[in-house]
Structure 1
């Protein structure tokens, strides 16, 4: 429930999100493909 409330208030994009998601995709190889449609 707390996450849902925070998600509604989230208005600014995350800094360096592309770098973060790239590193997560390497670390969790194959696991993020379906969730993020890379």
Structure 2
């Protein structure tokens, strides 16, 4: 497997995860304390 391709793929997944997390946080302002990350 190509290392650059793998690194780019992981970067894409990280960006997608951050986007989904931000969208979920905008929809649900109140979260349980065990799901709060900061």
TM-score (normalizing by structure 1)? 0.44
Structure number with larger C-alpha Rg: 2
Q: Which has the higher contact order (CA 8 A, sep 6+)?
A: 1
